[in-house]
Chains A and B, each alone.
Chain A
């Protein structure tokens, strides 16, 4: 008996837990434990109503410790800490026990076993709670400035957005100019806006804004300090004043509360030979877009009018081998580009028609280029469907090729298909017409290429950015925390996170501004006090802790003439790496002390009798 008054709440999570764990049996197994004053089940412990009930228990039963056995602490640690605060209980007197991800969901075939395991886990949680102590969060003043990395549309808009709500920005662009991909193009979907003009205007606004300082030819090379108080080193290359050939690097150090990463994407690099790439007239989508943008009138290629274009979709995307993800933007981008071609007007050219034998014959004269879209699924989601409709209404042909039987692009026979001088032929099967095999003569073949993550190894290292299986940066949670990363105060937005079109990239850029501002506008941040502390009497400074620390939190200080370790509160992440390496056991981790861990192990292993209450 420790004299504590502990409340234990075992969650059914609708049926997520109670379908596979007998929560009543768990309660029965632990309600007689010493110090347990209240033990009950709840359908959704996280629901507001149940929280109110727990608050009532805390107040009426004078509880001084809470155990909630429900889901992963990732989900609800903050929920129940906030609840404890509202009840006047120190939030660190609460213990989250995971009996969902680590129990009910993993043992769906063994209810008895899962129930026993849950009971043991809950008992360990009670054991930990007996030894909790009230802790106060570490309050750090935050710096109301933001570093934005990337001068594309997402980064520029994020910089402007942040400055406009009173948080000045250091904008760091690797290249020599601002504007990114969008600045390279003319008409963009869905509203036909001219990307170049759009970006010129945006860049001008950014340049004009007194709250934004732009670094071109610059890279973030170092980040130190802690959340809310980062020092970021920016290496800026400048052409030497004397000799233009030589570049000089200069490092600028800035203080910032947060970092927004908007480093964008690269176009899928098509290999030579992939769908005929390398043959004259076979272009990637960005190459084709530049060609269309450059054309004042009817489309020409290599000095000759373009009469027939074949688009091959999902090049470099949705591949069983290689990039498995869908690049999201490319269907609509290709549809939109083909509409621009139609709008560029008619070419004198050949009439084409579909022959019964499968070959497509050129037509006699007039009309815009014939356009053939060879696709798997057209993904013109939402309002973009209207573009797809318009394209079909204007005569584009959509042919669906089997997922496992992609089109083949070849150089046309010397005389051209039908002697009409087409450079290329594309052979495909069209499921929409009974799987018939067709050979389409083409002046141009457009490979509708997707997005790939940018090479950012240096930045990943500097910021410790989490990278997903697909190579894009990972958020903490796509719904709960979609622009935050596991590194506090480092946000991601735009296409560096996943393929996005420009409007979506801007949206996520502004969302990152909001998230950053929600933290910085307060002027201070609260950090978890679950950190390592040194017992100066036991410590005989040896440096082992410093060597073990990934964050360089320990440093040597002198106390009463003795060299000991001191751990910087704001830098320590509470990983516990230093605790076991200390030869004198001088370090303990607040919230997970050695005594608590031992008590938890004892709680797990102690004999357990399960019987229904």
Chain B
């Protein structure tokens, strides 16, 4: 959209903005109204009744809201922000507006609320002033106009963003939290079928990023995945739908995490996929390298079965060297996912002595149940990576009497996962860091390792180039050595260009090799990496192969395109309070005694899983669990939706950006946020509203019907200590209104109002005040200095008792309502990058000549309506909007800028 022309722009869809737009529209001007929230209505629609007539606020607001959006002369853009307003040189303005992504097609949405019903994320409900929760997918309130759903997405949750495999970690946590384990399993499968393997053996980069990690410790995300997998697999396999073939064939070389994941995605799209595996069993490193105490074979079998049951064929004991032969066999595309199976040699004397083994062979033998000759022997493991640690722990389990790991890197810089190192140490493995092997001693069999001191591992360009100090530093006596000094791909046979490390050269974004029909993924591209990284590569390769075979452009942008990762500080900042929830105790992760091969960790119980999932802070708000996408009957939810920019030319601008309420926790002596029975005036209004959250006026702490309610007037107003000496004008009156409504709702309750001056100025207002007194509300002159909480949740207010001699006094109440004041809303300054109307000292929009020209700012053509210019109640806001409209109309007539 661009080049739209309007007579006037109205910023803000509250009562002042709607009134301005309606009146301009009635006069025949074309109006563009921009509202930042997803519905028009502003603050008024939140209220119960309005003073002094006690009209139902909804009943007065809704017709204005409907009339505004249906007015033939008014165009309303909700969920949109005015980015900039600039003079256009002809008396008018050029306006840029950002339409925020709703993630819901506004045209197609029918407002049926089904997305809301299935959404698994609860966040504080702004409409109910945070008293209850709403969902991340939501319609803000029953009377919303337009009644269209919005998905709140603050960004990608850090856990999800951290997952190389692209698993929606936050999504499956949310599904577990709501007991939908099967759906959680399916959600993981959207990224990779290796649910069981990752649930056990993943190093869980998600947990390292978990926002809760900065509090009591991260959510146990990996173990939740294991819970999901084990729950799913325990049910046994049922019939599955095999996708119909699309007639194209893909060959995958290698059945490790990358190959299996790619096969899974391609098969689901209808490709006929065959995996060729050189080993006798499928699974690649999952099968051959990961020790059984970390990943039992049965789990690998289950994960592999996920892939084969939808029609993927796996041919084992078939090593592929000739890519052309595959082509001849009719495969339209090939994915190389052969991993890294060639051990790096140390090239030191004695490497061929008996008793010096290679890690891959050692682990493979262990996994396939072959005999390992380490019982009662002293074992030295060379290498500082995860494989070395796996070897060390495996050796212990096979009866080694002592295991020592020698690493080139210093202890702090060892590439092995710290958790692994810690567990190995707990089991008795010792580490010798910053050492390299000079030679292996021994005649026939190895008897010791002579070490050199390693001073640096990498050169200044970051290449592996260990430097050693002169001479040796002594010998480690041993009976066996396992060298875990690195692995490289065995990629020479394909004739493809390779890097120095042996990895195949590919386009990093598309994973296409120099042969267009051949793609490569996993460790053959990355070098030795993590299961989850390899799985992510497999998914990307499948995506690209599909596009290539469908003749589509290999556009890296089309893959995923996540929202920016949400800022953890922002997540923590939006938690008003949070309970201290310790991470569930991970059971001892160490073998109790050598020789024990059972898994060192158990599946969580359902109770533990629910508890763990409940610790999630819902960082991105929407968890991307996709439940709403699945249920929406109008198919109108699009998690990839992007916002858009809109431009317009307007003749005049009316700013109706309204106000925000004072944040009550900025007055800590009143205890808001700490004492549950201290609430704000807006919260009380919600408790009293026809659309009230609890269907009763009760106190939030324990649900008790309050018998004694106190009002603290001037909270955040007339108060230099919070930087606001101004009177907020509305708080006296809304408190008096609430007093009357409370006495109707709770006839037995006492209401006490602590005040400085009652400012019931306005037509019928003082009469309304007298009426509240006559109904029984008690008005006590005296400001509250402090509120303290009793054990039973009651509150003690300390005040100056002016009417009775002026001494300090105390009173006990069940519930305290803070009559919070107002502050300017809307960042008006930001909207005018080239300078805008002056703001007053308190950041309200200034009026150039309030005496004669209310509503006119000092910037020609820019007007202000309602509380944006200073605290106003509803009648004053409506009158002020009327004045702003008269000013704007006069400007448009005079400037001749009307279209």
The answer to whether A16 and B758 touch (CB under 8 A), given A48-B146, A190-B850, A514-B882, is no
Q: Does B217 sit at the interface, judged by CB under 8 A? A: no
Neighbouring B residues of A382 by C-beta, 8 Å: 726-729, 870-872
* Interface hits, A77-115 → B, CB 8 Å: 78-79, 82, 86
* Interface hits, A295-333 → B, CB 8 Å: 317-318, 324-326, 328
Chain A residues with a Cβ closer than 8 Å to the other chain, count:
82
Which of B27, B726, B759 is within 8 Å of A518, CB to CB? Answer: B27
Which of B58, B66, B727 is within 8 Å of A79, CB to CB? Answer: B66
C-alpha spacing A165/B29, complex, angstroms: 12
Chain B residues with a Cβ closer than 8 Å to the other chain, count:
82
Q: Does B63 sit at the interface, judged by CB under 8 A? A: yes
Among the stretches B119-127, B410-418, B798-806, the one at the interface with A is: B798-806
Neighbouring A residues of B727 by C-beta, 8 Å: 380-385
Which of A47, A385, A521 is within 8 Å of B725, CB to CB? Answer: A385
The answer to whether A431 and B802 touch (CB under 8 A), given A44-B142, A46-B66, A198-B852, is yes
Which of A44, A479, A506 is within 8 Å of B851, CB to CB? Answer: A506
Neighbouring B residues of A198 by C-beta, 8 Å: 851-852
Which B-chain residue is minimally distant from A432 (CB atoms)? Answer: B802
The answer to whether A86 and B850 touch (CB under 8 A), given A472-B763, A478-B763, is no
B70 and A482 contacting across the interface, CB-CB below 8 Å: no
* Interface hits, A514-539 → B, CB 8 Å: 514-515, 517-519, 521-522
B893 and A379 contacting across the interface, CB-CB below 8 Å: no
C-alpha spacing A380/B147, complex, angstroms: 41
The answer to whether A508 and B879 touch (CB under 8 A), given A389-B725, A479-B55, is yes
C-alpha spacing A161/B23, complex, angstroms: 15
C-alpha spacing A198/B849, complex, angstroms: 11
B60 and A480 contacting across the interface, CB-CB below 8 Å: yes
A378 and B62 contacting across the interface, CB-CB below 8 Å: no
Neighbouring B residues of A157 by C-beta, 8 Å: 852
* Interface hits, A483-531 → B, CB 8 Å: 483, 497-498, 502-504, 506-515, 517-519, 521-522
B880 and A507 contacting across the interface, CB-CB below 8 Å: yes
* Interface hits, A160-201 → B, CB 8 Å: 161, 164-166, 188, 190-191, 193, 198
C-alpha spacing A508/B757, complex, angstroms: 26
A509 to chain B minimum Cβ distance, whole angstroms, is 8
Which B-chain residue is minimally distant from A513 (CB atoms)? Answer: B886
Q: Does A51 sit at the interface, judged by CB under 8 A? A: yes
Complex interface bits, B841-856 against A, C-beta within 8 A gives 1, otherwise 0: 0100000001111110
Neighbouring B residues of A503 by C-beta, 8 Å: 850-851, 854
Neighbouring A residues of B890 by C-beta, 8 Å: 161, 164-165
Which of A75, A325, A400, A521 is within 8 Å of B28, CB to CB? Answer: A521
Neighbouring A residues of B766 by C-beta, 8 Å: 317-318, 324-326
B23 and A515 contacting across the interface, CB-CB below 8 Å: yes
Neighbouring B residues of A400 by C-beta, 8 Å: 781, 802
The answer to whether A510 and B146 touch (CB under 8 A), given A479-B874, A515-B23, is no
B611 to chain A minimum Cβ distance, whole angstroms, is 37
Q: Does B26 sit at the interface, judged by CB under 8 A? A: yes
B689 and A433 contacting across the interface, CB-CB below 8 Å: no
B17 to chain A minimum Cβ distance, whole angstroms, is 14
A379 and B69 contacting across the interface, CB-CB below 8 Å: no
A483 and B882 contacting across the interface, CB-CB below 8 Å: yes
B66 and A48 contacting across the interface, CB-CB below 8 Å: yes
Which of A324, A508, A513 is within 8 Å of B767, CB to CB? Answer: A324
Q: Does A346 sit at the interface, judged by CB under 8 A? A: no
C-alpha spacing A293/B580, complex, angstroms: 66
B763 and A498 contacting across the interface, CB-CB below 8 Å: yes
C-alpha spacing A479/B145, complex, angstroms: 20
Q: Tally inter-chain residue pairs, CB-CB below 8 A.
A: 246
Q: Does B692 sit at the interface, judged by CB under 8 A? A: yes
Which B-chain residue is minimally distant from A475 (CB atoms)? Answer: B763
Which A-chain residue is minimally distant from B767 (CB atoms)? Answer: A324
A14 and B70 contacting across the interface, CB-CB below 8 Å: no
Which A-chain residue is minimally distant from B765 (CB atoms)? Answer: A326
Neighbouring B residues of A318 by C-beta, 8 Å: 766
A64 to chain B minimum Cβ distance, whole angstroms, is 22
Neighbouring B residues of A353 by C-beta, 8 Å: none
Neighbouring B residues of A508 by C-beta, 8 Å: 879, 882-883
Neighbouring A residues of B52 by C-beta, 8 Å: 478
Q: Does B242 sit at the interface, judged by CB under 8 A? A: no
Complex interface bits, A198-209 against B, C-beta within 8 A gives 1, otherwise 0: 100010000000
A48 and B882 contacting across the interface, CB-CB below 8 Å: no
Which A-chain residue is minimally distant from B63 (CB atoms)? Answer: A79
B761 and A502 contacting across the interface, CB-CB below 8 Å: no
Neighbouring A residues of B882 by C-beta, 8 Å: 482-483, 507-508, 510-515
Which of B55, B692, B886 is within 8 Å of A510, CB to CB? Answer: B886
* Interface hits, B817-863 → A, CB 8 Å: 840, 842, 850-855
Centre residue among B763, B766, B767, B854 by max chain A CB count within 10 A: B763
Which A-chain residue is minimally distant from B877 (CB atoms)? Answer: A479
* Interface hits, A335-351 → B, CB 8 Å: none
Which of B56, B60, B763, B872 is within 8 Å of A16, CB to CB? Answer: B56
A202 and B806 contacting across the interface, CB-CB below 8 Å: no
A312 to chain B minimum Cβ distance, whole angstroms, is 16
Q: Does A386 sit at the interface, judged by CB under 8 A? A: yes
Centre residue among A164, A381, A502, A522 by max chain B CB count within 10 A: A381
B896 to chain A minimum Cβ distance, whole angstroms, is 12
Q: Does B183 sit at the interface, judged by CB under 8 A? A: no
B860 to chain A minimum Cβ distance, whole angstroms, is 14
* Interface hits, A368-416 → B, CB 8 Å: 377-386, 389, 400
The answer to whether A478 and B726 touch (CB under 8 A), given A14-B689, A324-B767, A515-B23, is no
Q: Does B352 sit at the interface, judged by CB under 8 A? A: no
Q: Does A71 sit at the interface, judged by CB under 8 A? A: yes
Q: Does A581 sit at the interface, judged by CB under 8 A? A: no
C-alpha spacing A71/B57, complex, angstroms: 13
Q: Does A37 sit at the interface, judged by CB under 8 A? A: no
Q: Does B213 sit at the interface, judged by CB under 8 A? A: no
A182 to chain B minimum Cβ distance, whole angstroms, is 8
Neighbouring B residues of A381 by C-beta, 8 Å: 727, 729, 759, 761, 871
C-alpha spacing A51/B144, complex, angstroms: 12
Neighbouring A residues of B852 by C-beta, 8 Å: 153, 157, 198, 202, 506
A158 to chain B minimum Cβ distance, whole angstroms, is 9
A183 to chain B minimum Cβ distance, whole angstroms, is 13
Neighbouring A residues of B689 by C-beta, 8 Å: 14
C-alpha spacing A253/B499, complex, angstroms: 100
Neighbouring A residues of B894 by C-beta, 8 Å: 164
Q: Does B718 sit at the interface, judged by CB under 8 A? A: yes
C-alpha spacing A470/B853, complex, angstroms: 29
Which A-chain residue is minimally distant from B44 (CB atoms)? Answer: A479
Q: Does B359 sit at the interface, judged by CB under 8 A? A: no
A478 and B53 contacting across the interface, CB-CB below 8 Å: yes
Which of B66, B770, B851, B872 is within 8 Å of A191, CB to CB? Answer: B851
The answer to whether A82 and B854 touch (CB under 8 A), given A324-B766, A479-B55, is no
C-alpha spacing A435/B728, complex, angstroms: 29
Q: Does A28 sit at the interface, judged by CB under 8 A? A: no
The answer to whether A165 and B62 touch (CB under 8 A), given A191-B850, A483-B882, is no
Q: Does A358 sit at the interface, judged by CB under 8 A? A: no
Which B-chain residue is minimally distant from A76 (CB atoms)? Answer: B63
Neighbouring B residues of A610 by C-beta, 8 Å: none
C-alpha spacing A41/B728, complex, angstroms: 40
Which B-chain residue is minimally distant from A481 (CB atoms)? Answer: B878
List 16 additional A-B contacts (Cβ < 8 Å) besides A479-B53, A507-B854, A510-B887. Answer: A43-B142, A44-B58, A44-B143, A46-B59, A48-B65, A48-B146, A49-B143, A49-B145, A75-B59, A75-B60, A79-B62, A385-B726, A389-B725, A477-B53, A497-B763, A517-B886
- Could you name 22 residue pairs across A and B whose Cβ atoms are closer than 8 Å? A14-B56, A16-B56, A44-B62, A46-B62, A46-B66, A47-B145, A48-B66, A48-B145, A48-B147, A51-B66, A52-B147, A324-B766, A325-B764, A326-B760, A382-B729, A383-B871, A400-B802, A431-B803, A435-B806, A506-B853, A506-B883, A510-B855
